[in-house]
Structure 1
């Protein structure tokens, strides 16, 4: 039974949502604030559903806190509408953004898709370790370590993107491939989800090594991983 942590201060919404999910074989935990939710370890749950407008610390800051230590999937459920809000939510580390009012069946479908994607990541057949420019990607444990062996937590989508780019060397990976194989969506002309995902991975890498330039944009072809790769015993 997947464990869902609902971080929502509206008691009516959290009760309706938890009841709906529990009837479909989920175990639900509810926190009325980010501060209460932080009493738990992110690794205790399979997925988070987080409101933005919370008393005290807001939902975006909570998502960033989770992302610093965990790759557990995150869905933002918010009354704040518009592309700018959705893009900002994805940039902070959320895997999906759903506007209120929402259709519970759509939310369930998106939860299930994220859980399948997360599970597929950990069943990935790739194993062993590869090194590049002082970095180490442990494909067996799904971990990325930067210079000085510092662990850099990645979400499941960020890890899949990095793995796909490395596996494609020396060829670039198209935006359409990333959207279809990692995000499970078909891109529309104005859809920026792939670009946001790539930007998020670049920014994470830059937090440990500002000079890192491993992921390059290839015009009309997609994104290419440019560092030299070595297998590590």
Structure 2
């Protein structure tokens, strides 16, 4: 029989995770738990170390604490988002709606408050990674909407509008694909929330609205008079065919 060390050495990790948090006891606990569940985990306990690691590797998912020594979590998220397209789950000990909104606005895909149970965190990790996997396995390789001006390359997760490349975060890309697959039809916030997060919809949750706002901005769509992505009052959102 194999001992524990031999079993660990033969584990085939499916996804890599970068865990960034200054609480060493917490990172040890989470790292051990996630490793036992088949993830390859790298840990950074301060912002500077995290940025150094990110310059050398691109994990599949990042768990990012808001309050960090050196470079704080919001700054890290904002700086890496243009080049990092994987999911970012932000952790914080602060219970403040403003912090949550700010985190989502700079590119976080999910937001959890401490103390966090490892199994709850694992569920959120699986939901975020499952989103990407489901999109990548779709039969269609390209989507074109908005009279063909907006092109979505599904396998490579690339977007172009009027032949110009558009840099999107993982969450923004996933939302755009869902809307594009239903071009010309209204998508309710509840439906979008359930497809993206695999969780029940909270009417007070602004996550979808924030992602739509960021999409409009990156596509150059006037939020007051949008042509590509319109809001249907009390119903949801609609992308042009």
TM-score class, shorter: 0.7 to 0.9
Alignment RMSD (CA, Å): 2.4
Q: What is the alpha-carbon distance in structure 1 between the residues aligned to residue 109 and residue 115 of structure 2?
A: 19
1:28-51 Cα offsets, whole Å, 9 max, x none, are 101122322222348621110101
**Normalized against structure 2, the TM-score is what?**
0.82
Which residue in 1 is equivalent to 2:18?
5
The one of 65, 77, 97 aligned to 2:79: 65
Give secondary structure in 1 for the equivalent of 2:91: strand
* 1:33-182 paired onto structure 2 within 5 Å: 33-39=46-52, 40-41=54-55, 44-130=58-144, 132=146, 134-147=149-162, 149-155=164-170, 157-182=171-196
Unaligned runs of 5+ in 1: none
* Residues in 2 aligned to 1:212 and 1:222: alpha-carbon distance in whole angstroms: 14
The size of the alignment, in residue pairs, is: 223
Cα separation, 2, equivalents of 1:185 and 1:129: 26
Aligned counterparts, 1:165-204, within 5 A:
165-204=179-218
Instruction: Give the structure 2 partner of residue 19 of structure 1.
Output: 32
Alpha-carbon contact 1:42-1:70 (below 8 Å) kept? no
Q: Gaps spanning 5+ residues in structure 2: where?
A: 1-12
Q: Would you identify which runs of 4 or more consecutive aligned residues in structure 1 move more than 6 Å?
A: none
Structure-1-length-normalised TM-score: 0.85
